[in-house]
Structure formats: C-alpha cells, structure tokens
Amino acid sequence: MKFIKPVPASWINEKIEGEIIGLQNAEATGINEIHKVENGDITFVDHPKYYDKVLNSEASFIIINKSVEAPEGKTLFFVENPFEAYCKIVEHFRPFVVQTEMISSDLKKGNNTFIYPNVFIGKNVSIGDNCIIYPNVSIMDHTIIGNNVIIHPGVVIGSNSFYYNTKKDREVWYKKMPDCGRVIIEDNVEIGANCTIDRGVSAETVIGKGTKMDNLIHVGHDTVIGKNCLFAAQTGIAGVVNIGDGVTVWGQCGISKTLSIGNNATLLAMTGVNSDLQGGKIYWGVPAEEASNKKRELVWIKRIPQLWEKIMNK
C-alpha cells in the first residue's frame, strides 16, 4: 500500500512506541510485507531466520525486535513485537469502516456498464466501460475493474487474504495480518461463476488483460496473472504466484505459493505445481513435469508386470 503522502519516521516511531536506529529524518512512502516490499516501504521482521533477508531487502524502514546496526540508507524501529507494530500502522491508514448500503455511494462506474440486482460493491471501487456484473457478486473495497469485463454470479473479488503470522509459543498460534492491498482486474477479462479472488495483503492481486476464468477458481493474495491466460474449473492458485502471459491451466490444477510460471506454459488437468516452471512447455502430474516425460514413465510402469514375468521365467 502506498500512502497518500510521505510519512515521517518520527511519526511512525511515536505511533509504535519504538526506538529509531539509523536515518532519523527519512519519510516512508508505503507499507508492504516482505514478498512485495519496495524502496520507501515499511516492513517488519520478528524471526531470526529472516533477519538477513529483510535487512538486505528493498525496504527503507524495518520494524525489528533485535537491536542491530542499521544498513546504510535504512531506518530501523526497534520494538518488542514487530508484528503488532506493523498491524497498528496498517489499521491506522486502512481502518475497518462499516458499510450498510449494497452499493457504495462513491462507486465510479463507466459508460454502458450494467450491474444486476443483489450485487454488493464496497468503498473506493471503480468499474470501467461496457462491463456486466451478474447477480450475487461481491466486489470488496479498493477494487479496480477495467473495461469490457464480465463477472458471473457468485463471484467474490477482494476477499481477505489467507495470510497469518505464526508463533507456536502463544495461545493463539495464527494471528491474521490486516489487509491493505487491493485487486486489479484489467480490460477484457471474464470471470466464471463462484470464483474467489483474494486482495493483496499489502500490494495488488492482478488479473491481466484478456484472461478468461471458468467457474470455481480460487486466486490467492498478491498473485499476478498475465495477459490472455485461460483457466479451467476448480483450479486453486496460492498467494504470491507470478503467472506469465498466454498460460493455459486446465481443470483441478493446484499451484503452490511464491513461484513463477513462464509465458505460454500449459498445465494439463490435475497438475500439481510446487516449483517454478519454464514457459513454452506442457506439464502434467504431481509434482509437475513435462508431459512427454510423464507419459513415457507411465508406459514403463505398465510394462513392469511383463518385465517381472520374463525375469521369473528365466
């Protein structure tokens, strides 16, 4: 999330009741979790495993529970509980606001866009020209929808991310990170019935131009899908996945978190992806492998009884 205007380090430190280490007079331009952090952003770290990664990241402002020397050009905020401090900043700039009307009065709607009855649209939403929003769709706060978009019944856009801070030494192991991200749906996208698209934790979930989605598909937080992709029903995509242009994903595929799929890749039905995949190839199986290799393996597996019989008859 980017701030409307830069925020002084002194204000941040006062807000979270911390101790400043490093640059004292810098100004933050946004706040992000580590997977999406950029220069000028605030982020946090509360586990020794990730100290080096965060201290060497693009983040300019780091909330940390270890008193260390600040890397050059960075500002550290030393606090006892970095996660709670991070949440306090997010909740200040993106507080929960109750909405009682079905469609927010601040909706920006383009020309020739039709919204069916029983659609919920939250605050700070914009919808472009020539769109159709079918019944029982929920479009949550801070969503941006381009032109010529079709959204079928039962779709939820901008639902909360499935993202938790985990500590096994406290009564509640999983504490939800407050969302301050959004969803961006570009031009000429079609989203099938009962799909769910989570908002970014702190950045954007993006559906690229011309992408078409079948029914019952889930897209996790901060996932970026490229242009002209095709997704068949019951596919599940975890958070922080980067999918290139022209990717085809057939039914019931599962794609794990924080990985990339290259341009023009194809995933055959029921493929399970747990690592990066190169573009321009066809994949199948769990874990995903090139489909031609997988098919050859199956041929050899079918021959095992014949081979065993030959061995036993010798």
CATH number belonging to domain 2-93? 3.40.1390.10
Write down the mean pLDDT value for the chain.
95
Closest CA to 193 of 150, 164, 237, 163: 150
Could you give the CA distance from residue 14 to residue 284 in angstroms, rounded to a whole number? 53
Give percent above pLDDT 70 in the chain: 100
Answer yes or no: are the C-beta atoms of 226 and 263 closer than 8 Å: yes
Closest CA to 219 of 195, 188, 253, 184: 195
Is 90 exceeded by the pLDDT of residue 314?
Answer: no
CATH number belonging to domain 108-289? 2.160.10.10
Could you give the CA distance from residue 39 to residue 309 in angstroms, rounded to a whole number? 65
The position carrying tokens 């909740």 is 91
In the chain, where are the structural domains located? 2-93, 108-289
DSSP state, 65?
S
Predicted local distance difference test score (pLDDT) of residue 300: 83
Predicted local distance difference test score (pLDDT) of residue 123: 97
Predicted local distance difference test score (pLDDT) of residue 299: 85
Catalytic residue among 142, 152, 218, 221: 221
**Section 273-291 average pLDDT:** 96
**Section 106-118 average pLDDT:** 98
Q: Tell me, yes or no, if 221 is annotated catalytic.
A: yes
Predicted local distance difference test score (pLDDT) of residue 219: 98
Answer yes or no: are the C-beta atoms of 223 and 205 closer than 8 Å: yes
Q: How confident is the model at residue 89 (pLDDT cuts 50, 70, 90)?
A: very high
Diameter over CA atoms, the chain: 84
Give percent above pLDDT 90 in the chain: 89
Q: How confident is the model at residue 59 (pLDDT cuts 50, 70, 90)?
A: very high
Q: How does pLDDT run across 184-241, given as a tens digit for each residue? A: 999 999 999 999 999 999 999 999 999 999 999 999 999 999 999 999 999 999 999 9
Say how many C-beta atoms besides its own lie within 10 A of residue 166's C-beta: 10
